[in-house]
Amino acid sequence: MICVKVHKSYREVVAICDSNLIGKKFEEGIKQLEVRESFYKDKELSYDETIELMQFQAREDASFNIVGQESLKAAKEAGIINDKGIEKIQNIPYALILS
């Protein structure tokens, strides 16, 4: 499953991560990634539901914060990112998509 939380502001920020990463912290040099439940988890969606949500939110001009292999695979399938936009910390892939 994939955890999703939509943060409402002047532009929606969609936080998405693999459910097995919730509560974990990754550090590499000066880079840090903390996968907090309060930021990433509102509901859990299936892979296909996540793709649908990303495609809808992309049409609504949302920004995305995505962590984890399954979540990024869904983002690529949804057409909102390619491999060039993906970084890694301790071999955990993540991406920020600002529209």
How far does Cα 87 stand from its chain's mean position? 12
**Neighbour tally for 74: CB within 10 Å:** 26
CATH number for the domain spanning 45: value is: 3.30.1860.10
Rounded Cα–Cα distance for residues 14 and 8 (Å): 9
pLDDT reported for residue 13: 95
Rounded Cα–Cα distance for residues 88 and 8 (Å): 27
| Owning domain of residue 52 | 2-97
pLDDT reported for residue 98: 87
DSSP letter for 8, please.
Answer: P
- Number of domains observed in the structure of the chain: 1
Rounded to the nearest 10 degrees, how much is the dihedral formed by the CA atoms of 16, 67, 36, 40? Answer: 0
Q: What are the pLDDT digits (tens) for 3-35?
A: 999 999 888 999 999 999 999 999 999 999 999
Region 55-78: mean pLDDT is: 96
